[in-house]
Structure formats: C-alpha cells, structure tokens
Amino acid sequence: MNRISVRLVVKGTVQGVSYRSSMQVKAAQHGVDGWVRNRGDGSVEALLQGDEEDVKQVLKWSRIGPPNAEVSEVEEELLESCPRLDGFQITS
C-alpha cells in the first residue's frame, strides 16, 4: 500500500453547495483521511491522505463536486511529509 498526502485548493462555486460535507462522505467511502475547510477567498482547501488509488478517486470527484457546485480549477500539491491523520474532518 502506497500512502500519500495531497493538499488541494478547489476554486469556483464551491461554498454554500455542500461541497465540504459531500467530500467528507466521498472520503469515507474510499477510506481517505484528512480535512476540508472553506477559505476566505471563496475556495475550498483540503488535505487528503491514504492509499494512492483511494486518494486519486477523491481527487477525481473533487473536480466535479456535488450537484450544485461549479468547479473551475483544482490545484494539487503532493506533500513529501505529513503527520499521519485519522478520520476526515470538516474544519474552519
């Protein structure tokens, strides 16, 4: 199992459309740990951690999001080192 950590920033219409709670559900479905939060500029930031294939599935979903989201851009950054996370939280 190849465990990876990816930080992402999702831009577009992603606040007020249940993006964070939908990502939490998607992460749980794939056994991905991490967190997601709204940013002051209207984007959503997340940290995904888990098996590479599982993280890739959540990343794929992040480019579409829930039904009312309109994702215009997803910036991804593979992190070299990150403390191991447990569970997936919506933070502020």
Q: Which residues are catalytic?
A: 20, 38
* 77 close to 7: Cβ distance less than 8 angstroms: yes
CA angle 61, 42, 49 (to 5 degrees): 40
